[in-house]
Structure 1
Amino acid sequence: MEMKELEFVPSLEETAMKIKQIKILAKEFFGAPKCSTEGGDLSILERWFTELGVGWVLHVADGAPAGEFAHALDASSWIPALSKIVDTYRLTSGLLPGHGPAEEEEPARESGEQNMAEQLQFARFFQQAMLKMLSFVDFIVAPNLTRQVVFVADGVPVPVPAPCEKLYTLLRVRQTLSKIQLPFYSSSSAEVERIQGEIVNVLSAKEGKVGEAIWSAMEEIRTQILESLEDGQGSSGTQTPQGSSDIDKATTSVMMYVMFLQRKYWLMAPIVSEAASVDKYVPRFGAVQPLISLELEMVSCLEEKLANKSEAFPDQGLRFLFLLNNSSFIADKLHDTPYFPKSYQVDLAGKVEGYMKRYIQVSWSPVLSCLINPTPSCLGKNNSPLPKFESEFQKIYTTQKLWKVPRS
């Protein structure tokens, strides 16, 4: 579950104090004897990052193995830390004449050259901080950075493709990057404006890189799920030679992913549309948005595979119960989803009704016919159909008593 952070508006005194603190950090960063090749003392950045809860980011930036930082995969500390760094940069408006409370604390005799020097010093400090923070993007887009994820559905653990959690993290990071709006103020220093432009370019490049990684993760998940449709085992692990009426594990996996795409529609849709525009993805359903086409393709493929699997069931009653359970599960998940075509939902509801009728027809019609329209073979002593009915009913009961009708 995602929670919105409470926003607090600092007082003028608090803002002035923060500006003073960050100016001190910037001076220490460039004035300390342990300056790095980037021109600053990274221990100062590490101290600040540690206060923000992301001291590990500097080690990622230095090329430490990704496995050492698997705890950071969810970006739970990185996202708020980046937001605080950007907010800190916004406070530097006080370094410009006529902007914010910092002007009040500046001595009247302070020269314009000194003010400009502070602007440039902080711009460079902020640039180094952002470059180190954005190195996290390269860390999370690494192809091998995944871990196994297990969801629990109706009390049963359901393994899903490992890239699912990575995909969720990538989406959160991209959403964060897309919302960053740096407050660029006109400056008399061409160097400050150049630095600001470089930061914007880096942000744009990182956002594009995350977008590409999201599409790659989506393709990997889709491939793994579609490959799982070839698996002949049921999800409950109780598959018998006659088959199982339980909801198939492929049905659970496909619908879990489709519903994830539905919930993240406004984040996913632009990425899939972009992939379609450069022919990385060719939608099969041209009358809908590319993301909806992708979902339709997966659900249609699932239905086809379920139908093919059911053909191997020797008992026709079990076959139609299997199709009924799985189709009902799909229909329930898609019911009233805002972006999925209503026509498909209507067609699916019709299939569910058809499977129900076929199940009743092949399983219970022979039994009920002994009562409704008894033939001579159904009549026993005293021309009563009850003995035959009871016998047929017992056969059906014995056969079907262990068949599952899962609750959707």
Structure 2
Amino acid sequence: MAIASVWRGAWIRSRVFSSAPPRAAAAGDVDGGGGLLQPTYCESSTSASGTTTTVTKSSDSAEDRPRAFNSSMVLPTAPVVEENVEELDVGKVIEEGWVRKLEHLKGLVMEFRDGNNLGALEKWLSELDVGWVLHESKIDESAGSIRIWQQFHFFAESWILALQDINESISRCFDVWCSQDRDEGTSKKPLASEFALLVEATMLKMLPFVDAIIAAAARTSDRPEAAAAAEKLQVLIDVSDALSMASEQILSSLFSSSPCVQSTGGTMRENVSTELAKLDEAMWNTMVDMMTGTAAWTAEDNGHPCGSSDIHKVTRSIISYTKVLWANYWSLDRILDDAYLRGEFKHDNESVSHLTNLIMEMVHSTEDKLASKSKSWFADQSLRFLFLINNSYFMLRLVDFPMPVLTRRIDDYINGYLLVSWEPVMKCLCDPATPCCFTRHLPMTEFQSKFHKTYAAQKLWKVPDPAMRKMLRKAIVEKVIPVSTQFLEDSSISTPGVTPKKLEEMLGELFEG
């Protein structure tokens, strides 16, 4: 399989930022305007006199804006054939296209070798539609939070697409180059080592954008939501993965081809390692922000919506974050392992991995805080227990591994709900000392009155998960129906106001929201 195919298969993955449209500025945001904002970037250029100029540009400038992936710039277009399409050797046409591209590239390599370094780079990258990477870019420090957030996404996505184009062109052209060397000998000019110098210069021009991405990520720290932290972490992971895979493929294919080529790859290898280390640090800092910010976000919450047992926004945010952690298990567990060795991350549960331990701590901490805060949020204890059941079960269902402590707490919450909600309803039938039980009909009348009152209050309470909704209904039925049926039999009441079957049907309508 060609190296370019391996790269494409590895790189095309789900990215948090790739499916989201640009965000509109909220009313009162520091950027103002309320409309869709285009990211900006600063372009630095150095004149012949040595003066450095920084110009702020909007990304909607057609001249310098990083463009979306353009497949026609990577793969040659096959000629149109009106008839006998089945006889066309598509592979041969594509290979011939890459041969033509390689011959053109060899001319640029010779131009680069002869001293026109920047000119050769500009021609090659402009033909790939990624010439903008030659302009050093920095975030606009004066921008507001939303605009900086957009710049962060803009830099990262544009850079990854450009790296994909460059890597594929390098890999395919070098495959053809090596094939020609095998067929025609190694005396053809220019040398592979000279091509390697052009590649190294290109990659060194790409790396400053990593610093710009990291700087933009650092400036988004004033966005405390866990969902925003998860999104930022995923973007940094995507950039790190793209750089790691592309550099590994380029280094393994190009700089390992011969001893003379190997000697030219040292600077690139060293600089790539430095940028990957910076990305690791940025990812660790994002995880630290997430861990230390959970308590603050919960404490700053202004209260839960009155009368709602639905999933809290903090719960949803934490789960969004843990999904990103779990989806990138090996990369992040390695970063946590390094932090553990530095003494910056404590890990008390030696039976699980660093990342699993972190997720468990995050979930347990969130559940503890919601349990504590809910005491002031809910006057109705039945509704409070239902809220805790919903949120705890939501986390347990989505963490993708067993959490016995959380499972036990959910069982406790269910028992607590039954105790405060349905135990008073059953008390009349179970306690013969209750004053209302002087005749055989009075307890049943009192029971049905309390049943209808509780049912009416809770019918529209919400349990969003179907499995938990079914579980709760079953628990209520098992508590209520056998006792009421037994009371009817013991009291020889043949015509109750509402039969046990009807009561069970009514309980089956609870918690639809």
TM-score by length of 1: 0.76
The DSSP-based 3-state class of the residue aligned with 2:131 is coil
Residue matched to 1:239: 306
Contact 2:138 2:212 in 1 (8 A): no
Shift of 1:301: 0.9
Contact 1:234 1:246 in 2 (8 A): no
Question: Structure 2 vs 1, CA of residues 51 and 222 (structure 1 numbering), >3 Å: closer, same or farther?
Answer: farther
1:95-128 deviation digits (Å, cap 9, x = unpaired): 6xxx42156578xxx9x5x84x644543332222
Shift of 1:234: 5.0
Contact 2:318 2:362 in 1 (8 A): yes
Counterpart residue identity of residue 81, structure 1: A
Pair 1:100-2:179 in alignment: yes
Question: Structure 2 vs 1, CA of residues 30 and 259 (structure 1 numbering), >3 Å: closer, same or farther?
Answer: same
Pair 1:167-2:240 in alignment: no
Shift of 1:93: 6.6
Pair 1:176-2:255 in alignment: no
Question: Structure 2 vs 1, CA of residues 103 and 394 (structure 1 numbering), >3 Å: closer, same or farther?
Answer: closer
CA distance in 1, matches of 2:122, 2:438: 91
Shift of 1:251: 1.5
Shift of 1:332: 1.7
CA distance in 2, matches of 1:233, 1:361: 29
The DSSP-based 3-state class of the residue aligned with 1:247 is coil
1:138-166 deviation digits (Å, cap 9, x = unpaired): 1111144549999xxxxxxxx64434323
The counterpart of 1:226, out of the listed 286, 290, 295, is 295
Pair 1:330-2:409 in alignment: no
Residue matched to 2:118: 41
Shift of 1:252: 1.5
Counterpart residue identity of residue 295, structure 1: I
* Residue range with higher mean Cα deviation, 250-259 or 386-395: 386-395
Contact 2:112 2:198 in 1 (8 A): yes
Residue matched to 2:465: 407
Contact 1:170 1:210 in 2 (8 A): yes
Contact 1:171 1:214 in 2 (8 A): yes
1:304-345 deviation digits (Å, cap 9, x = unpaired): 1122123334432223222222222122213xx2xx3x3x2x
Residue matched to 1:284: 348
Shift of 1:298: 0.8
Pair 1:24-2:90 in alignment: no
Contact 1:245 1:321 in 2 (8 A): yes
Shift of 1:20: 1.0
Residue matched to 2:408: 350
Contact 2:137 2:212 in 1 (8 A): no
1:249-288 map, 5 Å: 249-288=313-352
The counterpart of 2:385, out of the listed 310, 317, 320, is 320
CA distance in 1, matches of 2:14, 2:382: 48
Contact 1:328 1:352 in 2 (8 A): yes
TM-score by length of 2: 0.62
1:366-405 map, 5 Å: 366-379=424-437, 383-397=441-455, 399-401=457-459, 403-405=461-463
Unaligned stretches of 5+ in structure 1?
151-158
Pair 1:359-2:417 in alignment: yes
* Residue range with higher mean Cα deviation, 218-227 or 61-70: 61-70
Residue matched to 2:212: 139
Residue matched to 1:214: 283
Pair 1:52-2:128 in alignment: yes
1:243-289 deviation digits (Å, cap 9, x = unpaired): x4332222221122112211221222111111111122122323321
Shift of 1:130: 0.7
CA distance in 2, matches of 1:376, 1:300: 42
Shift of 1:167: 1.5
CA distance in 2, matches of 1:126, 1:82: 12
Contact 1:74 1:169 in 2 (8 A): no
CA distance in 1, matches of 2:129, 2:291: 35
Question: Structure 2 vs 1, CA of residues 16 and 361 (structure 1 numbering), >3 Å: closer, same or farther?
Answer: same
Question: Structure 2 vs 1, CA of residues 403 and 212 (structure 1 numbering), >3 Å: closer, same or farther?
Answer: same
The DSSP-based 3-state class of the residue aligned with 2:309 is coil
CA distance in 1, matches of 2:157, 2:137: 21
Shift of 1:350: 2.8
Contact 1:232 1:309 in 2 (8 A): no
CA distance in 2, matches of 1:376, 1:354: 28
Pair 1:311-2:311 in alignment: no
CA distance in 2, matches of 1:149, 1:48: 39
